[in-house]
Structure 1
Amino acid sequence: MVRILQGLAHKYFSDEEAIILLLLLVVGTGFIIFFGAMLAPAIASVIIAFILQGLVAKLRSLGVPEIVAILGVFLVFMGILVGFIFGLLPLIWTQVSALASEAPRIIRELQSYLELLPDQYPHLVSAEAVNTVYQQVSAEVGQITQWLVSFSLSSIPDLVALLIYVVLVPILVFFFLKDRRVLISSIGRLLPPQRPMMARIWHEVNLQCANYVRGKAVEILIVGSVTYVAFKLLGMPYAALLAMLVGLSVVIPYIGAAVVTIPVAVIGLFAFGWGTHFIWVMVAYGIIQALDGNVLVPILFSEVNNLHPVAIIVAVLFFGGIWGMWGVFFAIPLATMLKAVFAAWPVKTLERSPASEEE
């Protein structure tokens, strides 16, 4: 056992930089776990600035002065933020409230559909199973409706926190963009002066994570916008709410699309019934998903090493279990970062002794 541990230490931790990097990863992970909630505005600002930095670099490559590029990108970000808060967010909240008020009618229609199943498929579905499913769905919908009704009173602290986010995040994003080099150099002073391995890992992580995060932001915007236009033209109710769900579903490949298909199908079925209109809605939704997976994703992520589906599912379960919804949202970027670190990690091959070679 001792020889095995010595061999692993020699293979993976013979470089001094590797040990320092491991300590940084452990300390950084523990810091985020214990202080992540407290520093959530700063972490969110770093991620947003990381996304916007790609646009700043693009403008700089076109000859735009740096301060002009930063101010222009920041103004675009503020325009999107204001449009989301005062335009999209009230619309989505209105549609969520309307959907909650329609919940009793949807439940009654669902009951009528479920009651037909034991007669049509007596060998597959029993009346007891239908009643169990109906009671569970009714209980869940009742809890959601009750939460929506009590939201205005119980969530005042959350609204205060949201106001803090709205004020602090734009300020932090601006300074992270403006003083990026100063902040990075300040952190670099805490590291060894000679760090070629860390520089290589930083380059790989920056390339992979930057392309992935920025690509996902563009993908969410495109898929959500196209879905909203398609649903609006087809007369689909709650188009903004469903478009937001479809757009956010691309954050979690495979799982997100499968989960979001359920509310799209259920709302379309109750809105139009089982007919031609419902089929057209599902066909449009299927075309959007197909174009996203086969056209948009290869274009946006051509320079990113794709993760295996098993790695994606494990990352979602692991980081979601640690950080909840935020962990699910950032599971793929974190997994991509870990993959980039492992790919660039120095591995020293064990030298064979002359005696072993003679054997």
Structure 2
Amino acid sequence: MTGSQRWFFLVVSLVLCGSVYLLAPILTPFLAGALLAYLCDPMADRLENWGCSRTTSVVIVFAFLTVLMTAVFLLFLPNLGRQIQVLVQQIPEVFQLVENRFLPWLQVNLGIDPAAIDMNMLKQLILKDWQKTGDIMAQIAAGITRSGLALAGWVANLVLIPVVTFYLLRDWDVMMDKIQRLLPRNVEPRVSLWANECDEVLGAFMKGQLLVMFALGVVYAIGLWIVGLDLALLIGMLAGLASIVPYMGFIIGIAAAVIAALIQFSDPTVLLWVGLVFAIGQALEGMLLTPLLVGDKIGLHPVAVIFAIMAGGQLFGFVGVLLALPVAAVIMVLLRHLHEGYKGSSLYTHEKPEDSSIS
């Protein structure tokens, strides 16, 4: 790569970052549409291989997505709202459980004096923050209701997402080909190699791990529902979302399920069934879901995922969260190639280039 090409790519990168920063308030529907188009492109390509035209393939995929999202809204959201109300009603019972069982257990087994923990202050703090959160949500809802312009903006964003997804999915292969043709010929093979590696990383995570998260959420929710837990759907979905980091979903889910089961049933034997549900979920993840949906592809490290999401949200808000994983994948690929170059350079071997070439 020549010096002028390096400056060109540096300027383009700075312009893109500046544009994202300045246009972040309006980018959400476009980035969400691009993400959905990226995830659905393999399905459209497969339908094309079966003889369908690109437009027909996109229409089929788009219709499937529409039916799926409609079913989710109609089936899950009302039940999820009711379970959140049940959770709010059970907050006082959680405090009673802590006072009557957890604190005495700490005193007997760890020698911790329950008087050292000010439960009244803890109650006031949590209830105050909960009330504050409710007040904030009420203010937001009232503001949206009062402002017709804000409401119109929310509706426009929701409508834009499927529109953007449809057109990006229809022209996805054409856009990728044009971007490839725009690259300088001397750097195109290397950039294409990096792009393929980035796609492999993102494919392993977004097209695999996200499906594993959803499947685990469904398994946990159904299992806890069979046990009879009132908060089965809420805890199952929470555990599935937390599975973005390995074992975190299991830890958070089983902890929440144990507390909810003790409050609802007051019978320790039900904990055996709760543990069985999560044991089955972990077995399915290790033996079936991860090998089938993710395989041995290269994925993002869990710590890199957490840091990328938090850093993206801190720098660019919700737009940064949407961009976090693709940017993290690109940085991971670049760092891997930089590491390989460093290991082969004189900085690492302490040899002069001419000496290393002779040897």
TM-score range, shorter chain: 0.7 to 0.9
Alignment of structure 1 residues 244-259 onto 2, 5 Å? 244-259=237-252
TM-score, normalized by length of structure 1?
0.80
Compute the displacement of 1:248 (Å).
1.6
2:70 maps to amino acid: V
327-336 or 102-111, larger mean C-alpha shift: 327-336
Identify which of 275, 297, 304 aligns with 2:297. Answer: 304
1:81 matches 2:69: yes
1:139 aligns with 2:128: yes
Other-structure match for 2:165: 173
Moved more, 82-91 or 313-322: 313-322
Displacement of 1:175 in angstroms is 0.3
Is residue 203 of structure 2 the alignment partner of residue 210 of structure 1?
A: yes
Q: Quick check: 1:164 aligned with 2:156?
A: yes
1:336 to 2:329 alignment: yes
Q: 1:285: how far off?
A: 2.0
Q: Answer yes or no: is 1:36 the counterpart of 2:29.
A: no
Aligned equivalent of 2:95: 107
Query: With structure 2 as the length reference, what TM-score do the two structures score?
Result: 0.80
Question: Shift in Å at residue 87 of structure 1?
Answer: 2.7
- Tell whether 2:84 aligns with 1:96: yes
Q: Deviations over 1:286-337 (max 9, x none)?
A: 3313432454223322242144454445435433433456756765554333
Gap change, CA 1:39 and 1:355, over 3 Å in 2: closer
Q: The residue matched to 1:38 in structure 2 has which SS?
A: helix
Distance 1:19 1:270, change over 3 A: farther
Q: How many Å apart are 1:38 and its aligned residue?
A: 1.8
The answer for the alignment partner of 1:56 in structure 2 is 44
Distance 1:270 1:151, change over 3 A: farther
Aligned partners of 1:144 and 1:111: how far apart in 2?
A: 25
Deviations 1:37-78 (A, max 9, x none): 321100000001100111112223334333322111110111
Q: Point out the more displaced range, 126-135 or 14-23.
A: 14-23
Q: Secondary structure at the match of 1:36?
A: helix
- Counterparts of 1:30 and 1:353, CA distance in 2: 39
Give the alignment partner of residue 54 of structure 2, picking from 52, 61, 66. 66
CA distance in 1 between partners of 2:36 and 2:353 (Å): 52
Where does residue 4 of structure 1 map in the other structure? none
Query: In 1, Cα distance between the equivalents of 2:247 and 2:14?
Result: 30
Q: Distance in 2 between matches of 1:357 and 1:69?
A: 53
Match of 2:281 among 285, 288, 292: 288
SS in 1 for 2:298: coil
Q: In the alignment, residue 33 of structure 1 is paired with which amino acid? A: Y
Q: 1:355 to 1:201 in 2, by over 3 A?
A: closer
Structure 1 residue 271: Cα displacement:
1.4
SS at match of 1:252: coil
Q: Is this contact kept in 1: 2:205–2:299, CA < 8 A?
A: no
Equivalent in the alignment of 1:264: 257
Contact 1:118–1:127 under 8 Å retained in 2: no
CA distance in 2 between counterparts of 1:208 and 1:232 reads 35
Point out the more displaced range, 267-276 or 24-33: 24-33
Q: Give the Cα–Cα distance (whole angstroms) in 1 for the partners of residues 141 and 354 of structure 2.
A: 77
Question: 1:152–1:39: structure 2 CA closer, same or farther, 3 Å change rule?
Answer: closer
In the alignment, residue 20 of structure 2 is paired with which amino acid? I
2:312 matched residue in structure 1:
319
Counterpart check, 1:236 vs 2:224: no
In structure 1, stretches of 5+ residues that fail to align are 1-12
DSSP 3-state at the match of 1:237:
coil
Cα distance change on mapping 1:354 and 1:153 into 2, 3 Å: closer
Give the drift of 1:268: 2.1
Question: What root-mean-square deviation, in Å, do the aligned CA atoms of Structure 1 and Structure 2 show?
Answer: 3.5
Residue 153 of structure 1 corresponds to: 142
Paired residue total: 346
Match of 1:45 in 2: 33
Is the 1:103–1:141 contact (alpha carbons within 8 Å) kept by the matching residues of 2?
Answer: no
In structure 2, C-alpha distance between the alignment counterparts of 1:234 and 1:85, rounded to whole Å: 24
Distance 1:122 1:206 in 2: 50
Q: Deviations over 1:256-308 (max 9, x none)?
A: 54444443332222112241113311331233134324542233222421444
The verdict on how the C-alpha distance between 1:144 and 1:356 changes in structure 2, with shifts beyond 3 A counting, is: closer
Which structure is higher in RCO with an 8 Å CA cutoff and minimum separation 6? 1
Mark the CA change 1:135 to 1:201 in structure 2 (over 3 Å): closer, same or farther.
same
8 A contact 1:208–1:304 mirrored in 2? yes
Q: Is the 8 A contact 1:204 1:344 kept in 2?
A: no
Determine if contact 1:204/1:340 at 8 Å carries over to the other structure.
yes
